[in-house]
Amino acid sequence: MTEQSTDVDVVVIGAGPAGENVAGRVVRGGLSCAVVEDHLAGGECSYYACIPSKALLRPMELAAEVGRVRGLRLEGPIDVPA
């Protein structure tokens, strides 16, 4: 098998949130970019940390907010298993 050489302007090591941001800015700026990631593209937040946690917490925050606004009410309890 022969190796092919491809030139890129920028190599971003790590595709977490900062790496994704850098790669996007590089490409929007007209440069080519390669991203090197050995585990999770997008970083851990997209898979197990921030984003899933926020999805679980948001209904409770919304329910609390509804309780603070006159004229609004919840229609039944929050279906946690769903």
pLDDT > 60? residue 68: yes
- The closest alpha carbon to 16, from 49, 58, 53, 54, belongs to 49
pLDDT, tens digit (0-9, with 9 covering 90-100), for 10-33: 999 998 888 989 999 999 999 999
pLDDT at 35: 92
Q: What is the signed CA dihedral for 65, 69, 74, 80, rounded to 10 degrees?
A: 10
pLDDT at 32: 96
Q: pTM, whole model, 2 decimals?
A: 0.53
Q: Where are the domains of the chain?
A: 10-68
pLDDT > 60? residue 76: yes
